[in-house]
Amino acid sequence: MSKRNYASKCSFIFLDNKTLMCSIPVLSSLLWPMMSPNKNSRIALVMTFLWMNTIASDTPAGNLQGGILYPRESESREVKLLDGIWNFRLSLDPLMGFKEKWFTKDLSKTGSVIPMPVPSSYNDITMERKIRDHVGIVWYDKTFFVPDSWRQFGYHVWMRFSSVHYAAQVWINGHLAMSHEIGHLPFHREITSFVQFGKQNRVTVAVDNTLLQTTLPQGLLQDLPVEDTVETIQTYTFDFFNYAGIHRSVHLYTTPTIYIDDVKILTDVKTDGTTGLIHYNITIGGSFSKEESVMCFVDLLDQDGNFIVRKNRNSTLDGLSGTIEVPNAKLWWPYLMHPIPGYMYMLQLQLSQKDSGINDVYRQPVGIRNLKWNATTLTINGKPIYLRGFGRHEDSDIRGKGLDLALITKDYNLIKWIGANAYRTSHYPYAEEIMDFADQQGIMIINECPGVDLVNYSIILRNKHMDSMAELIRRDKNRPSVIMWSIANEPRSQLKEAAEYFRSVVEFVKSYDETRPITAVLNRAENEDEAGQYLDIIGFNRYNSWYSNTGRLEVIREKVEDEAYKWHTKYNKPVFMAEYGADTIPGLHINPSYVWSEEYQVELLSEHFKAFDALRKKQFFIGEMIWNFADFNTAQTVTRVGGNKKGIFTRQRQPKAAAHHLRKRYWLLATELEKVPLPLDFENYEADVSENILKVEL
């Protein structure tokens, strides 16, 4: 992944103009005396934190050294979850924690702390507006034990954060261990030299939620004069609440000193349609002198744990990469495209070094499928895909964007109940646990980075955008559910700088993964768009009869058909509608239908369905995704009543009338396209008039 160095160099140049390299504590102590408590100082300080964070230890190139495999227990690896209640404190003065070195002692000794759950956003946990709306830095800490047996076994000890939004710095027992920018993506570090074995240890995390024009997503800080002082306000144009905190699990885990650092898997299906191919490439981490003495064994197991292929046992020289042929492979199919969707094999990787007796075992799930696309069609295992799905959010009451296993399990049950086969991770990467479900249940994912509402194109922004894609691909490259990379949502793609910007981001993404098509979800008029020419597949968003022609449902059909056709004609690429919808207050009924009512949402959907059906006949139209799966929280604005209400489910995951309506369409489509039977509860009993009317065959 050498391209990262190029990108990170650009970051250095543009961040500081001097390619200044300096550790965070040093830099903060240099800057601190220069900061005066004037009107702009808070902004300057917060920006400084982000700036320091970016140029310090975890530059983009640093992040991408090595793999980011999900921590899994095995014969050779132990995993401890550090989830639970952590100590938490706001830093109203952004640099105070650095100046007073809060990371050198228990946070509770620096001032008063409150309990804060991890994983969770911190914003909605208390009744404090100053916590919910905080801009800048907060601190967390927690103590944990590292067993002495880990020292005796000679383990490497690692800590991994699956997502901290937006920027984070982590100290272990007062030592700066890692930093990371861009929420929604994991980062980890080997911390063996920082921990005390057989004793209590402390992890301290500083989290900064500040968004600037050079962060991804972008935001702006503004000064709000209040009495004799100035408050810093965070603004942003994207339409979801900027929840912050330690959003996903924190893992403490071990590897042997020589370990499987990464594995890249590409799968294919031979032209006979039944033989699966698994190409793998394993990377070893840790230090070892005699490469030849490291053996690498690769086994493939089916879902019942039976060995399918055991013969691939080779020495390092030819064992680190190779191809496994799977006769009569059980292919990975999307939900409702096959009686057994989401079939996952297990690739069992084993390293062993004879001299030291070290063994490492890592098990990587793998689904066998191929994707192909042309100007009109996207196929999986040779069959055309028609996407029936949603845009979604990671969002729920109280926990904000915090991972909640009960919630995500319910969400997948709803997705399957409704007969959907796909969704887009609008507008940022979702938790790995959410992606695991997609792999296992056959839900196709358009995997989006946090490039939402892009404007003010700059080299720093572009590099960060590339970082986010590189980190996302590093994390999700082996997932069969990921069928497209989405590099942006609603960028200002009419600006002339957009052309070069998107050309270079697409080229960059292709250099990491050529096996999946690249899309971006566009909303400028097709005749002014500069980005689509570089994409493989065009997604477009349009709120006909909502933001424009409000209340005029009769315009939808023609406008949607016309626009989809124009996108296809301009770029000669497959097209899907990535967003359409209407805000709806659950329980509001108005007949004849009227905006915000359940009736209006249902009718707006129906008009779109007519357009989609006409478009489906034209071949190039490959899918429909409603906005949104569920209601979600947004920034406070007069256009949102308690958040965005375009969900077909409420924020508590209860169906609006539109959910039942959409369910009928998605199942009928599945019946037409995949010949699946309708669910037994598809229709409620109404009357037994079967003798009097002709039965309609579904």
Of 12 and 580, nearer to ligand GCB (C-beta) is: 580
- CA–CA dist 536, 517 (Å, integer): 5
CB 262 within 8 Å of CB 69: yes
Residue that has been written with the tokens 């004799």 in this structure: 228
Of 192 and 523, nearer to ligand GCB (C-beta) is: 523
Report residue 521: phi and psi, to 5°: -100, 115
List residues bridging with 362 in a β-sheet: 349
Peptide bond into 628 cis (omega under 30): yes
Of 214 and 489, nearer to ligand GCB (C-beta) is: 489
Cα angle 631, 634, 635 (rounded to 5 degrees) comes to 165
CB 267 within 8 Å of CB 278: yes
Of 2 and 637, nearer to ligand GCB (C-beta) is: 637
Q: Smallest gap, in angstroms, from Cβ of residue 426 to ligand GCB?
A: 6
Residue that has been written with the tokens 């009960």 in this structure: 406
Of 162 and 425, nearer to ligand GCB (C-beta) is: 425
Q: Smallest gap, in angstroms, from Cβ of residue 594 to ligand GCB?
A: 18
- CA–CA dist 381, 653 (Å, integer): 33
Kindly state the greatest CA–CA separation across the chain.
89
| Nearest C-alpha neighbor of 520 from the set 570, 578, 472, 479 | 578
Q: CB neighbours of 656 closer than 8 A, spacing ≥ 6?
A: 584, 586, 598, 601, 647, 648, 649, 650
The two structure tokens encoding residue 435: 């992606």
Chain positions contacting ligand GCB, by CB under 6 A: 239, 427, 489-490, 523, 541, 579, 627, 644, 646
Per annotation, catalytic residue among 448, 490, 579, 603: 490
CB 481 within 8 Å of CB 442: yes
Q: Smallest gap, in angstroms, from Cβ of residue 637 to ligand GCB?
A: 11
List residues bridging with 520 in a β-sheet: 538
Of 462 and 542, nearer to ligand GCB (C-beta) is: 542
Report residue 320: phi and psi, to 5°: -75, -25
Of 479 and 651, nearer to ligand GCB (C-beta) is: 651
The residue number whose beta carbon is nearest to ligand GCB equals: 239
Of 344 and 611, nearer to ligand GCB (C-beta) is: 611
- CA–CA dist 27, 535 (Å, integer): 41
CB 322 within 8 Å of CB 280: yes
Q: Smallest gap, in angstroms, from Cβ of residue 488 to ligand GCB?
A: 10
Of 362 and 629, nearer to ligand GCB (C-beta) is: 629
**What is the CB neighbour count within 10 angstroms for residue 697?**
4
Q: What DSSP string runs through 556-606?
A: HHHHHHHHHHHHHHHH-S-EEEEE----B-TT---SS--TBSHHHHHHHHH
Instruction: Rounding to the nearest 10 degrees, give the CA dihedral for residues 679, 680, 681, 685.
Output: 140
Of 261 and 579, nearer to ligand GCB (C-beta) is: 579
- CA–CA dist 666, 197 (Å, integer): 55
AA letter at 328: N
- CA–CA dist 524, 196 (Å, integer): 56
Q: Smallest gap, in angstroms, from Cβ of residue 424 to ligand GCB?
A: 10
Q: Smallest gap, in angstroms, from Cβ of residue 258 to ligand GCB?
A: 45
Tell me how far apart the terminal alpha carbons of the chain are, to the nearest angstrom: 52
Q: Smallest gap, in angstroms, from Cβ of residue 523 to ligand GCB?
A: 6
- The CA distances from residue 82 to 164, 246, 424, in Å, are 14, 11, 30
How far from chain centre, in Å, is Cα 447? Answer: 7
In terms of DSSP H, where are the helices of 93-248?
96-99, 129-132, 148-152
Pairing of strands 383-384, 387-391: unpaired
CB 659 within 8 Å of CB 377: no
Q: Smallest gap, in angstroms, from Cβ of residue 548 to ligand GCB?
A: 12
Of 261 and 529, nearer to ligand GCB (C-beta) is: 529
How far from chain centre, in Å, is Cα 114? Answer: 29
CB 442 within 8 Å of CB 416: no
- CA–CA dist 173, 168 (Å, integer): 16
- CA–CA dist 290, 285 (Å, integer): 14
The two structure tokens encoding residue 141: 């800490």
Of 239 and 530, nearer to ligand GCB (C-beta) is: 239
Q: Smallest gap, in angstroms, from Cβ of residue 242 to ligand GCB?
A: 13
| 490 classed as catalytic | yes
| Nearest C-alpha neighbor of 276 from the set 342, 364, 370, 339 | 370
Residue that has been written with the tokens 């003495």 in this structure: 293
CB 72 within 8 Å of CB 363: yes
Which residues does the annotation mark as catalytic?
A: 490
